[in-house]
Amino acid sequence: MCKIINLIVTACLFCLSTYTSAQATYFKCVTPKGTTFSQFPCSDNATSHTITATEPKQTGKEINYTKQLNELERDTVISNLEAELRSNQHKLAILLREKDRADFKQQQRLNHILSADDKKRISKDIRNTQKKLDKQYKKDKALIEKRIKKLQKKIDAYQP
């Protein structure tokens, strides 16, 4: 534990020394409990050490990452919109399959009836059911296509 604290103190002293001047002095005291580093002598057997900066502080060139970050964000938005667009296109295909399945089921219902009176009554019921199914399908299809157009406009707006 003491060694960790000593290392932290040394690092802090080193950092402070580079900010204040090119040279700094610190004291190192070795005790039975461990080694201590300090700005001031901590015992009679303290040894003095000097830190000298060999190179001036160097910094890298300033880079503005705003353009790159904006491009990454735009790419992310586009990929999310394209994923949502694909999702809506799949929903449209699923909706069509469900409509076809319901139509087929109604046609099968008509084929199972044998008597003429029942066939007329059932065919009228099937027409009404299919009208309802078609109406609901057109409504759902229009809603999904509207979403698809809206997403496509957003994607086009983000494209360079």
139 C-beta neighbours (distance < 10 Å), count: 10
Same domain, 48 and 110: no
Residues 6+ apart with CB under 8 A from 48: 25, 26, 27, 41
Strand order in the sheet with 23-31: 34-38, 23-31, 47-52
Does the global pTM surpass 0.75?
no
Please report whether residue 141 resides in a domain. Answer: yes
Please report whether residue 59 resides in a domain. Answer: no
Same domain, 103 and 154: yes
Both structure tokens of 106: 């109604």
Both structure tokens of 94: 């699923």
Position 113 scores a pLDDT of 62
Please report whether residue 21 resides in a domain. Answer: yes
Please report whether residue 58 resides in a domain. Answer: no
Position 114 scores a pLDDT of 65
In the predicted structure, residue 11 carries a pLDDT above the cut 70: no
Same domain, 93 and 119: yes
pLDDT mean across residues, the chain: 82
Same domain, 39 and 116: no
Total tally of structural domains belonging to the chain: 2
Report which of residues 42 and 135 the model is more confident about.
Answer: 135
Residues 6+ apart with CB under 8 A from 103: 130, 133
Same domain, 120 and 70: yes
Whose tokens are 């904006």? That residue is 70
Same domain, 71 and 147: yes
At 41, the pLDDT band (50, 70, 90 cuts) reads confident
Report which of residues 65 and 6 the model is more confident about.
Answer: 65
Question: What range defines the domain where residue 40 resides?
Answer: 2-52
Position 90 scores a pLDDT of 96
Spatial CA neighbour of 2 closest among 23, 30, 22, 27: 30
Q: Give mean pLDDT, residues 47-53.
A: 83
Please report whether residue 29 resides in a domain. Answer: yes
Report which of residues 100 and 23 the model is more confident about.
Answer: 100
Same domain, 34 and 95: no
Same domain, 114 and 142: yes
Report which of residues 69 and 32 the model is more confident about.
Answer: 69
E-strand ranges in 7-90 read 23-31, 34-38, 47-52
Same domain, 43 and 102: no
